[in-house]
Amino acid sequence: MASDNDTTQDLRRFQAKESQAILKLDVERPVLEQQDLHQLYQYEKPKKSVIQNIKKSIGSSSCKGCVQNVIPASYWLRKYKWQTDFIHDVISGLTVAIMHIPQGMAYALLGNLTPVVGIYMAFFPVLIYVFLGTSRHVSMGTFAVVCLMTGRAVTSYATPLETNSSANNTQEGSQLLLQNTEIYTPIQVATAVTFMVGIIQLIMYTFRLGVISTLLSEPFVNGFTTGAAVQVLLSQLFDLIGLSSAKPKGYFKFIKTIIVIFNDIPDANTAAVIISLIASCIMVLNNELLKPWIGKKCSFPIPIELIAVIAGTLVSRYFDLPTLYNIKTVGNIPIGIPEPQLPAFKLLPTVALESIGITMVSYTVTMSMSLIFAKKLHYEIDSNQELFAMGSSNIFGSFFSCMPVSASLSRSLIQQAVGGRTQLASIISCLILLVILLWIGPFFEPLPRCILASIIVVALKGMLVQAKELAKFWKLSKIDGIVWFITFFTTVLINIDVGLVSGLLASIVSVLFQSVRPYSCLLGHVPNTELYLDTSRYIGVAEIFGVKIFHYSGNLNFVNANRLSPDLQDKVGVRPRQVLKYRHKLAKKGIYAEANDFENKCTLRCIVVDMSAVSKIDSSGVVTLREVVADFAQIEIPVYLAACSALVYDKIQKCDMFEKGELSFMIFATVHDAVFFAQRELVSKSS
């Protein structure tokens, strides 16, 4: 309520400038309600029929188009420029193959499998993705976080055996253990996870759920991958310093691992520590100093990881490091291509939960990299086709001793940076890796595991540096900063799967929190225009006497509908229930003159609700609007709606016609129409 002096001044100002205000608000067209606008311009609701859409899609798609959609390679292979692009793809494929060897062998250890599995992952699934994927530049294969998550499932469900650990992953060991159906080798658990991930991805493809990746916010992805990188770093400390202690399992592994390392660090292998330091320092110096300098001279990078692997293998072989210094080595690497074997289908229900998390992480990372290259090089990515390509790749790979695959940040960047044009580069890479599998594999058997651990630790720098993004998230939005904190610390302190779930929940809760408290304000008129702007942000606007224009931004649904009425009453400064209560109190005492004086002091005569920023509304939102109109109608203050979108108007009309048989709101085409109508009504009443 305004004071007596303010009320008197406002009333005089209103009476003196009634006609002038109306002239200023006048427009060169009649005032339009929403119904008039629909009739005038022949509004028609779009017909939504799933069957018609399917028939239209089928009818408009030729056989050639269907093949091209399912097998995108059939499109770019027909237009491939062999004279100009082939040499670039050959160089790119050779470079990526060199990276696959050390990375594949190192990341396979994260999955608690033999190093050769990483080479399998760079060969079998990639052959499928080349033809079915829509990205032309991502390098599929091992990815640290995915391998670590798979390794957790392997640790949880594989049966520990007294036999040599390397023999457990061979086909002979698998066949021997199949005699007891309750015993599973690490490779059986890994392939079951891979098969389950492929099935989930194909189900997502069937239901066109590629858009689900948009639910994963940047703070969540950043916090999760950074936390997972810390977990990967921690898991490599045992090999890095040559500890033989058993790695802790279960939740809160971070704390348990630190305790074990501090307790057993006197037993560290000095030779392993020295080798790790030398290898790590050389790779860091190369990445920080030599690589940028070489990059200015030529586009072909120094394969420092491969050099470290070859040098480490030769030194270990000729100086007999395993015997003299008790250095752990890679061990047996079988020659040839593994025989296809069915995954352990009985394990599928057991590993389903872990597989869901791995699916989300691998798909999100792959789509992120694909979209980066597509935007940079001006081509399109089909998010649903990517699900089909990844699902098919994983199912095929599960028959050949593979873990779930994902795009690699480092390899993908190199594949594009050295000139790769298409996925033909991946074919070249597969051919080189085939030579490794058929003939060269056993050469790497003496390779110290501490070398592979050093490669992993150095490669994690990019993911660990992501922690700097926290400052940006916190400055831009405290909610985003909280999501990052929750995701990161639960991933590090508890476990990766808990971090994934808690981060997702935190992201969803943040969205709900922001939708529960939508933005609202009062609008003022810009003189001589049809513009209405926020009075709290624009000084050069003025409120129209007697009319309050309430602007609401966001969805209006069952989640936030209960906030509308209190927010509107706070903004306009009038609470209908208090007014009625005061009226009743005065009337009960017979003080009618004071009651009339009270009414005159209230300058509010009409409310216009600007619905232009309301994108969707449900039945709860319509009921709330109806209650607002009814509440203010009790104190003779009309409430008009304005600028509803067609979708919102249809929903309001549908709810009203179903429940009341008629439209219970006055809805105007624009805010200006509603204000002009309100002022005209006020003038007619005053006269």
- pLDDT of 244 higher than 90: no
- pLDDT of 7 higher than 80: no
pLDDT digits (tens, 9 = 90+) for 160-211: 755 444 444 555 555 544 444 578 999 999 999 999 999 999 999 999 888 7
Q: What is the pLDDT of residue 618?
A: 92
Residue 53 placed within a domain:
no
Tell me which of 16 and 403 has the higher pLDDT. 403
DSSP character at residue 403: P
Q: How far is CA 347 from the centre of its chain?
A: 29
Lowest mean pLDDT among 113-122, 456-465, 595-604: 595-604
**592 and 491 within one domain:** no
As for how many domains the chain has, the answer is 2
Q: Could you give the percent of the chain with pLDDT greater than 70?
A: 86
Residue 47 placed within a domain:
no
Average pLDDT of the segment spanning 413-421: 82
| CA quadruple 257, 262, 263, 264: dihedral sign | positive
Q: What is the pLDDT of residue 179?
A: 47
Residue 30 placed within a domain:
no
Q: What is the pLDDT of residue 169?
A: 53
- pLDDT of 447 higher than 50: yes
- Kindly indicate the confidence band of residue 44, based on its pLDDT and cuts at 50, 70 and 90: confident
Residue 422 phi/psi, 5° resolution? -145, 180
Out of 467, 495, 513, pick the residue that ends a domain: 513
Residue 165 placed within a domain:
no
**195 and 88 within one domain:** yes
Average pLDDT of the segment spanning 446-474: 89
Residue 4 placed within a domain:
no
**471 and 609 within one domain:** no
**188 and 214 within one domain:** yes
Q: What is the pLDDT of residue 220?
A: 87
**214 and 123 within one domain:** yes
Q: Could you give the percent of the chain with pLDDT greater than 90?
A: 42
- Kindly indicate the confidence band of residue 23, based on its pLDDT and cuts at 50, 70 and 90: very low
Q: What is the pLDDT of residue 375?
A: 82
CA distances from 189 to 33, 246, 290, 345 (A): 65, 20, 41, 10
Look at residue 229 and give its three-state secondary structure.
Answer: helix
Best CA proximity match to 383, nearest among 394, 399, 368:
368
**541 and 490 within one domain:** no
Residue 62 placed within a domain:
no
Tell me which of 374 and 130 has the higher pLDDT. 130
Residue 23 placed within a domain:
no
**255 and 108 within one domain:** yes
Cα–Cα distance, 121 to 126 (Å, whole number): 7
Q: What is the pLDDT of residue 389?
A: 96
- pLDDT of 279 higher than 50: yes
Residues in the chain, total: 687
Lowest mean pLDDT among 33-37, 383-387, 562-566, 586-590: 586-590
- pLDDT of 28 higher than 70: no
- Kindly indicate the confidence band of residue 497, based on its pLDDT and cuts at 50, 70 and 90: confident
Cα–Cα distance, 391 to 129 (Å, whole number): 9
Lowest mean pLDDT among 244-248, 378-382, 489-493: 244-248
Q: What is the pLDDT of residue 22?
A: 43
Tell me which of 92 and 124 has the higher pLDDT. 124
- pLDDT of 656 higher than 70: yes
**242 and 281 within one domain:** yes
**291 and 342 within one domain:** yes
The 3-class SS string of 161-177 reads: CCCCCCHHHCHHHHHHH
Out of 494, 513, 532, pick the residue that ends a domain: 513
* CATH number of the domain enclosing 617: 3.30.750.24
**670 and 574 within one domain:** yes
- Kindly indicate the confidence band of residue 413, based on its pLDDT and cuts at 50, 70 and 90: confident
Residue 227 placed within a domain:
yes
- The dihedral region occupied by 453, where left means phi > 0, alpha psi between -120 and 50, and beta the remainder, is alpha
- pLDDT of 19 higher than 50: no
Average pLDDT of the segment spanning 258-287: 92
- Identity of the amino acid at 437: L
Give the other-Cβ count within 10 Å of 328's Cβ: 18
Cα–Cα distance, 371 to 132 (Å, whole number): 16
**490 and 620 within one domain:** no
Q: How far is CA 123 from the centre of its chain?
A: 28
Which tokens go with 392? 């098919």
Average pLDDT of the segment spanning 486-500: 89
**360 and 346 within one domain:** yes
Out of 513, 542, 577, pick the residue that ends a domain: 513
- Kindly indicate the confidence band of residue 52, based on its pLDDT and cuts at 50, 70 and 90: low
Look at residue 346 and give its three-state secondary structure.
Answer: helix
- Kindly indicate the confidence band of residue 18, based on its pLDDT and cuts at 50, 70 and 90: very low
Domain residues for the domain of 571 are 518-686
pLDDT digits (tens, 9 = 90+) for 59-79: 444 555 677 778 898 888 888
